[in-house]
């Protein structure tokens, strides 16, 4: 399939993302095909530590264009993962690729000296981010941005302890691991000192409910109040949490949670850091996911889709905390290099010019409607969720008990992948993050594939739909 890399002024990302449905998915060798297997065997003799995503379906990819991935056997897939929540504008978006190439041939690295492209990126961020989020530093991965964000929290508050939430994920360096829902054997064995975890409201699996059975957000905040008094040494800098839990399974907060948490932090003079590495830059139809609830965090991390595939991340802080960057010696080897800034600026301009925030929101509504039908029709679909192009389907043994159905998660993932849907497993929660340039028909085609895979899995596991 040919896709032209036409980045002329009339070019629209929605044309770039559009897929010819007769050509995609297109399976010529049942995947993982022979060439995929051969590459995988050769590579994994040396390359170790693979994600579950790869272990469960070891294909080898050779090309990506817009919303389509091609493997080394010539199979074409609809992309429902954007790499891993990264290529939000589709693979190899011409405007982003051109911007990177320009700086790859003119200036690759100038440490943290000022460059025109970094200046323009900072000005753009200050213009589009909410409130007084106008102090920036750039990094090369989500986890390094999170580490810097934590250092800012401590420098700005003069305090040390941090509170994070069950089932959050923040990265794999030591501070980030200590914030996350870690299994110590997997990541580090010992959580860093001064790191605390509390539950956060999950409307599908609430810990505390009101008389009418709905989730009681206030009960969580009352618990935080007591926790701060009894379980910390009274040296808490602030909270750090994801707006929507990505790795945890696209778990959405109740609408009143973040406004109440913002107020809670303000009243207790605590800082609020939102880790938006996964959920920002159009993924949920806003620049920052926290904008859905009208709050402005004190510190926010931005990553993944920020450079649409080029490794570039950011920490943004509110006006009063800008000087904290001075205190933490914020610079790094790759942070803010010209290629990275060009990728981030080009991605930002594309989202703006092609009105992609609105398009992502629209896709989320279309997906939710379709997934609700799946929930009504399938005995194992317990809950469905979407905000923009961040989506999840929770598989359960029984809708009344809501007990997770792990086995089904693996089977549905593999069956849909074999039919041409490249996506992300997560135990019993199916996670989807299609590029926000996708068209509605391709999105629905991808969801049809998932629907069929759920039906087959139900039959195999003895659930009647």
Ligand X SMILES: Cc1ncc(COP(=O)(O)O)c(C=O)c1O
Residue ranges binding ligand X (CB under 6 A):
141-143, 146, 169-171, 242, 246-247, 275, 277-278, 303
Among candidates 347, 424, 431, 391, which has minimal Cα distance to 87? Answer: 347
90 contacts 435 by C-beta, under 8 angstroms? yes
> Cα–Cα distance between 73 and 33 in angstroms, integer?
6
* Residue closer to ligand X (CB basis): 81 or 442: 81
Report DSSP state, residue 191. Answer: P
* Residue closer to ligand X (CB basis): 247 or 258: 247
* Residue closer to ligand X (CB basis): 224 or 306: 306
* Residue closer to ligand X (CB basis): 165 or 367: 165
* Residue closer to ligand X (CB basis): 96 or 277: 277
* Residue closer to ligand X (CB basis): 143 or 397: 143
Among candidates 279, 287, 412, 421, which has minimal Cα distance to 347? Answer: 287
CA angle, residues 293, 295, 301, in degrees to nearest 5: 105
**Shortest distance in whole angstroms from residue 306 CB to ligand X:** 10
Report DSSP state, residue 215. Answer: B
* Residue closer to ligand X (CB basis): 313 or 457: 313
* Residue closer to ligand X (CB basis): 252 or 277: 277
**Shortest distance in whole angstroms from residue 243 CB to ligand X:** 9
**Shortest distance in whole angstroms from residue 167 CB to ligand X:** 11
> Cα–Cα distance between 249 and 431 in angstroms, integer?
6
* Residue closer to ligand X (CB basis): 242 or 291: 242
Which positions ≥6 away from 112 have C-beta within 8 Å?
331, 335, 336
**Shortest distance in whole angstroms from residue 6 CB to ligand X:** 31
67 contacts 434 by C-beta, under 8 angstroms? yes
**Shortest distance in whole angstroms from residue 159 CB to ligand X:** 22
- DSSP string of 237-254, one letter each residue: EEEEE-SSBTTTTSBPPP
**Shortest distance in whole angstroms from residue 139 CB to ligand X:** 9
- DSSP string of 18-29, one letter each residue: ---TTTSSB-SS
Q: How many CB atoms lie within 10 A of CB 289?
A: 25
**Shortest distance in whole angstroms from residue 95 CB to ligand X:** 23
49: left (phi over 0), alpha (psi -120 to 50) or beta: left
> Cα–Cα distance between 56 and 49 in angstroms, integer?
13
> Cα–Cα distance between 264 and 226 in angstroms, integer?
12
* Residue closer to ligand X (CB basis): 171 or 364: 171
**Shortest distance in whole angstroms from residue 129 CB to ligand X:** 18
**Shortest distance in whole angstroms from residue 334 CB to ligand X:** 13
The CB-nearest residue to ligand X is 142
Token code pair at residue 302: 């931005």
Q: How many CB atoms lie within 10 A of CB 254?
A: 18
**Shortest distance in whole angstroms from residue 138 CB to ligand X:** 13
Which residue stretches of 248-403 are H helix? Answer: 257-267, 324-327, 338-353, 356-377
């Amino acid at each position: 399939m040919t896709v032209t890399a036409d980045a002329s002024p009339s070019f629209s990302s929605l044309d770039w993302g559009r897929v010819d449905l007769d050509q995609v998915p297109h399976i010529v060798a049942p995947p993982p095909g022979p060439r995929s297997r051969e590459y995988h065997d050769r590579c994994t003799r040396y390359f170790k530590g693979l994600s579950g995503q790869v272990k469960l379906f070891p294909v080898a990819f050779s090309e990506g264009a817009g919303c389509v991935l091609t493997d080394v056997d010539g199979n074409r897939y609809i992309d429902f993962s954007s790499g891993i929540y990264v290529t939000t504008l589709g693979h190899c978006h011409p405007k982003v690729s051109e911007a990177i190439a320009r700086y790859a041939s003119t200036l690759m690295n100038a440490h943290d000296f000022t460059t025109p492209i970094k200046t323009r990126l900072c000005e753009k961020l200050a213009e589009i981010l909410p409130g007084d989020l106008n102090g920036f530093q750039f990094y090369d991965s989500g986890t390094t941005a999170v580490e810097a964000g934590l250092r800012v929290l401590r420098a700005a508050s003069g305090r040390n302890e941090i509170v994070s939430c069950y089932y959050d994920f923040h990265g794999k360096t030591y501070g980030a691991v200590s914030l996350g829902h870690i299994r110590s054997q997997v990541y580090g064995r010992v959580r860093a000192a001064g790191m605390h975890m509390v539950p956060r409201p999950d409307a599908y699996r609430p810990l505390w409910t009101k008389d009418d059975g709905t989730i009681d957000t206030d009960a969580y905040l009352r618990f935080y109040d007591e926790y701060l008094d009894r379980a910390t040494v009274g040296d808490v800098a602030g909270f750090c949490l994801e707006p929507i839990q990505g790795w945890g399974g696209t778990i959405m907060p109740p609408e009143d949670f973040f406004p109440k948490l913002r107020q809670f932090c303000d009243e207790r003079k605590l800082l609020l850091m939102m880790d938006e590495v996964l959920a920002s830059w159009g993924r949920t139809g806003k620049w920052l996911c926290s904008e859905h609830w009208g709050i402005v965090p004190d510190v926010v991390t931005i990553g993944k889709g920020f450079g649409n595939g080029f490794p570039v991340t950011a920490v943004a802080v509110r006006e009063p905390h800008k000087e904290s960057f001075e205190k933490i010696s914020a610079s790094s080897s790759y942070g803010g290099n010209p290629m990275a800034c060009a990728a981030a600026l080009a991605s930002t301009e594309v989202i703006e010019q092609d009105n992609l925030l609105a398009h992502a929101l629209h896709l989320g509504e279309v997906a939710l409607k379709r997934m609700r039908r799946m929930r009504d029709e399938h005995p194992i679909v317990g809950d469905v969720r979407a905000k923009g192009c961040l989506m999840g389907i929770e598989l359960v043994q029984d809708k009344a008990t809501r007990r997770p159905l792990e086995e089904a998660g693996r089977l549905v993932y593999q069956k849909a992948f074999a039919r041409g849907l490249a996506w992300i497993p997560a135990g019993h929660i199916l996670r989807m993050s299609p590029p926000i340039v996708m068209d509605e028909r391709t999105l629905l085609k991808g969801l049809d594939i998932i629907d069929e895979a759920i039906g087959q899995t139900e039959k195999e596991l003895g659930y009647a739909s």
